Amino acid sequence: MTTGGGTGLVRRPDASNRATLLELLFDVVFVAALALISMTIAQRDSWGALGQSLLMLMAIWWIWSVTSVTTDFYDPEQRPIQAVLMVTMLGAVGAAAALPRAAGGHALVFAVAYVAPHLVRGAILVSTLHRHRHNAQERAARFMFWFVVSGIFWIVGALPPGQPHWPLWVAAAAIDYVSAGARYPTPWLGRVPIDQYERATEHLGERYQQFVILALGDIILVPTLKIGTSDFAAPRLAAFVTAFVTMLLLWQIYVYRSGQILQITSRRALGQAARVAPYTHAVMLAGVVCIAGGFDRIVAEPTGETSVRSLALMFGGPTLFILGRAAFTYRVSGVVPWRRLVWLLVFPAVAPWAGGWPSMLVAVTCALVLGGVVAFDVLGTRLRLPFLRPGRVG
């Protein structure tokens, strides 16, 4: 661990791509947040509550995503960056603790816990880089400017303490996501140069993979917490095993050919991957928490009739996950995984009848569709069938 100046603060081209132990500890904090979001989705019955939970997921995910970009551009062994990680972990813990009641009395706690790490990170980076007259201070200033703008909406949206003003929070999340997509256009500074995104390393790809693998554990963690307080009746145990199988199938879908993405050598493709990964992975994570929430409900009542909400979670979750993975593949390589996408047609095809099925049968249907995707991947590789159809990188 070093203190380093402005030059040492920025990651060197020959630096190790391995995640530091502090970064891995940082990831663990978010596992609890994902589990709380999934359980909140399972417990609330209104569609509005589902949308609110997904909005909070977007906020939680953005904390992780922006911080991981920070540790890819800057050296995580430097003390200022470690301070950023520690402060962000504290904010993430506060946001996670406020999640169950963020729609009620804890809205301001959630907003402050979300905004504070972004502002502290910006202050540390800008002050440190300015002191050493490093040109990367402009990059840090752009990030900080837009988090100040969105932070106003997050905080005002939580005042007075109590029920949040959801339109203001939606606007705040939109500012965060759109400003990043537009490369943080800032008065007098302009946008983040494209070549800075092209400096992304394998470290960032590894970080995304590590987080998704941890997130997939949410699919079995939430049912485990549920079955641990219930009896181990055969239908409930079968639902639990189905959740475990579903988790493994999603893992296989995510890691299939992911090694090829990590080995990209084109600087333009690396920049493209760095820019689209936060958005495509947000879609995948939304799918994961929906599936986990669905299994929470199914493990509780495996033989009960499937509600419209449970059906939406169990069919919508895998759809979001596969669409997010396909979008990432397309934006990085310019090709479309049609063999995977065709399997999604099963869900709308059976949906008109699935509402009357036992919830356990819906879970099995979900697992069978995912199993079909994995089987086609394996068969396509062995028979050398085209996995992807050429397209264009836009």
What is the C-alpha to C-alpha distance for residues 242 and 240, in angstroms, rounded to an integer? 5
The strand pairing partners of 390, in sequence order, are: 335
Q: What percent of the chain is predicted at pLDDT more than 70?
A: 89
Q: How confident is the model at residue 393 (pLDDT cuts 50, 70, 90)?
A: very low
Q: What would the pLDDT profile of 108-119 be if each residue is shown by its tens digit? A: 999 999 999 999
**H helices, E strands: number in the chain:** 17, 2
56 and 119 housed in the same domain? yes
Q: What would the pLDDT profile of 127-147 be if each residue is shown by its tens digit? A: 988 876 666 789 999 999 999
166 and 293 housed in the same domain? no
Does any domain span residue 1?
no
Averaged pLDDT for residues 74-82 = 89
The per-residue pLDDT for 368 is 96
102 and 122 housed in the same domain? yes
Examine the fold and report which residue of 161, 192, 223 is the final residue of a domain before the chain moves on.
Answer: 192
Q: In this structure, is the dihedral angle defined by the CA atoms of residues 120, 126, 129 and 132, taken in order, positive or negative?
A: negative
177 and 254 housed in the same domain? no
322 and 214 housed in the same domain? yes
39 and 122 housed in the same domain? yes
237 and 125 housed in the same domain? no
DSSP state of 335: E
Q: What would the pLDDT profile of 245-281 be if each residue is shown by its tens digit? A: 999 999 999 987 655 554 554 566 667 778 899 999 9
315 and 256 housed in the same domain? yes
258 and 376 housed in the same domain? yes
- Tell the residue number behind the tokens 């972990």, with chain if given: 89
The per-residue pLDDT for 7 is 55
Q: Is pTM beyond 0.95 here?
A: no
217 and 120 housed in the same domain? no
Q: Which of 199-208, 295-304, 349-358, 364-373 comes out lowest in average pLDDT? A: 199-208
Q: How confident is the model at residue 392 (pLDDT cuts 50, 70, 90)?
A: very low
Q: What would the pLDDT profile of 365-390 be if each residue is shown by its tens digit? A: 999 999 999 998 888 666 555 544 43
What is the C-alpha to C-alpha distance for residues 50 and 14, in angstroms, rounded to an integer? 44
Pairing of strands 389-390, 335-336: antiparallel
Averaged pLDDT for residues 6-35 = 81
The per-residue pLDDT for 371 is 96
Q: What would the pLDDT profile of 35-64 be if each residue is shown by its tens digit? A: 889 988 988 878 888 899 999 999 999 999
185 and 242 housed in the same domain? no
374 and 228 housed in the same domain? yes
Averaged pLDDT for residues 181-199 = 89
Residue 38 sits in which domain range? 6-192
Max CA pair span of the chain: 66
Does any domain span residue 271?
yes
> Which pair of structure tokens corresponds to residue 232?
């181990």
Whole-angstrom CA distances from 373 to 10, 19, 30, 258, 326 are: 41, 31, 28, 16, 12
Does any domain span residue 197?
no
| Cβ count near 339 (within 10 Å) | 18
Q: For the chain, what is the domain count?
A: 2
Examine the fold and report which residue of 192, 223, 246 is the final residue of a domain before the chain moves on.
Answer: 192
Examine the fold and report which residue of 169, 192, 215 is the final residue of a domain before the chain moves on.
Answer: 192
Does any domain span residue 23?
yes
- CA 285 vs. chain centroid, Å, equals 4
Does any domain span residue 360?
yes
pLDDT surpasses 50 at 1: no
Q: What would the pLDDT profile of 224-255 be if each residue is shown by its tens digit? A: 887 877 777 888 899 999 999 999 999 999 98
Q: What would the pLDDT profile of 201-228 be if each residue is shown by its tens digit? A: 778 888 898 899 999 999 998 888 878 7
Does any domain span residue 34?
yes
Q: What is the mean pLDDT of the chain?
A: 86
